[in-house]
């Protein structure tokens, strides 16, 4: 509506006014469509890429507008098109950033920040206005470089908003000077059209110099702020995890430590030590290994990792884990080492406690097994253990075809010993018999107490004759013992028959044992 009214008020016909209005409206619509739907980028003046896309969209929209306007008028020519294009492009580049930046601040409710920066903005814009008035209000000297300096100052201090606002101020001052004929000598000597084109390109040059610089400076400040936040979070994370980072410059041998590295070393000084001094902080027993890891890493350009002990100045020993990698430049040459160091003292203590607990558990488990499988009085295998060994030996004999035998014996007249000397003496006799029998066995034989005064010997890889010899040695050793009371034993021996079970084998040995008793005791008999 404003465009149509301005064109009709300027004396243009209805059709021409509608054509020019269509050109003006299509311009902004086309630019917005390009930014939102084609580039898919946010209209940012602090992002250099975003600024480039904004300028591309502005140029394309101005070209479309100039083409529509040229088609709507009979005054077709490159001069008309170029004048329309530069004027509209200049208008977009100067005005649109101010509107978009202000609109975003309004949308994000940053009024308080704007009010805080208002005094500086007013002072800078007044300076730009003063310099622009001086440059364009006289014709004797060409001072067009002065507004450029003021615009760059505004861009430096205020960013994209300052750059766009100051260019707008220069454009206003130069336009007024152009209207009132007070252009500087460099502009005033030309014709009206040439002066207008010169002024527009001058303002475009200001924009092209100021806004990109402002965007780069804003991006730089954002990177600085972002890195500062990341560094703060990194220090917070390092403190929580007890992990510090370090860097070694190979050219200068300069070491850089983070705050956490100083805390791990227990050092208050914020000046990192030399490489040799840093290695000397390690435990004397670990220094050679640490030096070897670092030397190998530098020699072969590979990373390293190790665990070692650090001795703090107060004598406290801390366990640390260190991991490093080669730092390379753009041509893939090694220029340093960088890595992390972590205080793992608590972890090492926990691991040591876990290891001690594991050892205690294994010992307890072994003791429990021994208690479960050992006769508490004699210290030899109990019935449960003996039965298990017998079953395994019998199965192995079946698989291999080797012989195996069982000897069963008990103490002759053991009840009489208990009745005469008492149960305590009877227990001592049992222990003495167990020890004497065990001393006569082969290395692979198993002696077990089956119950009361009854004992069983499992003899793997022993046929009847070999088993009989072992049994006879046992009988003789017990019978010739000079201890009081003297005792004898009767022994029955049975060799495993094909397909025979453990119970059947034990029954045959037991039958042989009773045969020996019936024949007068203190003798050995072989089962049938």
- List the catalytic residues: 453
CA-based angle 90:95:97, to the nearest 5? 110
Backbone angles phi, psi at 527, to 5 degrees: -65, 150
Rounding to the nearest 10 degrees, give the CA dihedral for residues 44, 50, 56, 59: 20
183 within 8 A of 195, measured Cβ to Cβ: yes
Q: Let me know: does 422 contact 428? Beta carbons within 8 Å.
A: no
> CA 282, CA 280: separation in Å to the nearest integer?
5
Q: Say how far apart CA 148 and CA 155 lie, in whole Å.
A: 10
- Is-contact 417 429, C-beta < 8 A? yes
Q: Are 73 and 16 in contact (CB under 8 A)?
A: yes
Between strands 255-257 and 334-343, the pairing is unpaired
What are residue 42's phi and psi, to 5 degrees?
Answer: -80, 140
**480 SS3 class:** coil
354's CB contacts (< 8 A; 6+ apart) are: none
The Cα-based distances of 262 to 154, 183, 269, 280, 375 in angstroms read 43, 66, 8, 15, 61
Q: 413 - beta bridge partners?
A: none
CA atoms of 245 and 324, how far apart (whole Å): 9
Contact of 485 with 411, CB cutoff 8 Å:
no
CA distance 47 to 70: 34
Angle at CA 63, nearest 5°, toward 57 and 66? Answer: 140
């Amino acid at each position: 509506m404003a465009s149509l009214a301005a064109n009709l008020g300027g004396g243009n016909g209805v059709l021409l006014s509608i054509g020019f209005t269509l050109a003006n409206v299509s311009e902004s619509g086309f630019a917005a469509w390009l930014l939102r739907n084609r580039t898919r980028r946010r209209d940012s003046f602090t992002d250099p890429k975003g600024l480039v896309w904004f300028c591309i969209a502005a140029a394309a929209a101005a070209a479309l507008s100039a083409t529509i306007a040229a088609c709507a008028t009979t005054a077709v020519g490159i001069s008309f098109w170029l004048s329309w294009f530069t004027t509209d492009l200049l208008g977009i580049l100067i005005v649109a950033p101010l509107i978009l930046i202000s609109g975003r601040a309004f949308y994000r409710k940053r009024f308080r920040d704007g009010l805080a920066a208002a005094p500086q903005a007013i002072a800078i814009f007044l300076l730009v206005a003063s310099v622009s008035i001086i440059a364009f209000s006289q014709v004797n000297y060409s001072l067009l470089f002065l507004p450029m300096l003021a615009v760059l100052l505004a861009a430096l201090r205020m960013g994209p908003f300052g750059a766009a606002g100051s260019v707008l101020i220069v454009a206003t001052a130069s336009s007024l000077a152009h209207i009132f004929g007070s252009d500087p000598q460099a502009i005033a000597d030309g014709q009206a059209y040439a002066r207008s084109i010169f002024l527009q390109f001058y303002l475009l040059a200001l924009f092209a110099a100021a806004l990109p610089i402002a965007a780069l400076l804003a991006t730089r400040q954002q990177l600085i702020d972002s890195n500062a936040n990341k560094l703060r979070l990194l220090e917070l994370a390092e403190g929580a995890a007890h992990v510090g980072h370090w860097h070694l410059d190979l050219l200068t041998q300069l070491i850089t430590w983070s705050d956490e590295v100083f805390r791990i070393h227990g050092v208050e000084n914020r000046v990192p030590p030399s490489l040799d001094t840093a290695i000397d902080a390690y435990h004397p027993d670990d220094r050679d290994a640490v030096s070897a890891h670092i030397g190998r890493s530098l020699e072969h350009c590979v990373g390293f990792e190790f665990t070692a002990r650090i001795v703090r100045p107060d004598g406290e020993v801390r366990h640390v884990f260190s991991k490093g990698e080669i730092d390379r430049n753009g041509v893939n040459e090694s220029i340093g080492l960088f890595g992390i160091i972590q205080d793992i003292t608590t972890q090492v203590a926990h691991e040591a406690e876990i290891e001690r607990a594991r050892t205690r558990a294994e010992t307890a488990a072994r003791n429990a097994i021994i208690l479960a499988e050992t006769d508490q009085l004699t210290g030899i295998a109990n019935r449960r253990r003996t039965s298990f060994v017998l079953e395994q030996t019998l199965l192995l004999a079946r698989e291999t075809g080797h012989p195996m035998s069982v000897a069963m014996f008990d103490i002759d007249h053991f009840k009489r010993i208990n009745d005469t000397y008492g149960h305590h003496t009877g227990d001592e006799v049992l222990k003495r018999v167990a020890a004497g029998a065990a001393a006569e066995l082969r290395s692979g034989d198993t002696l077990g107490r089956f119950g009361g005064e009854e004992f069983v010997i499992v003899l793997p890889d022993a046929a009847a004759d070999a088993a009989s010899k072992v049994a006879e040695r046992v009988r003789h050793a017990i019978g010739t013992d000079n201890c009081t009371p003297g005792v004898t034993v009767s022994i029955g021996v049975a060799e495993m028959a094909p397909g025979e079970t453990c119970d059947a084998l034990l029954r045959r040995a037991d039958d042989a044992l009773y045969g020996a008793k019936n024949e007068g005791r203190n003798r050995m008999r072989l089962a049938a």
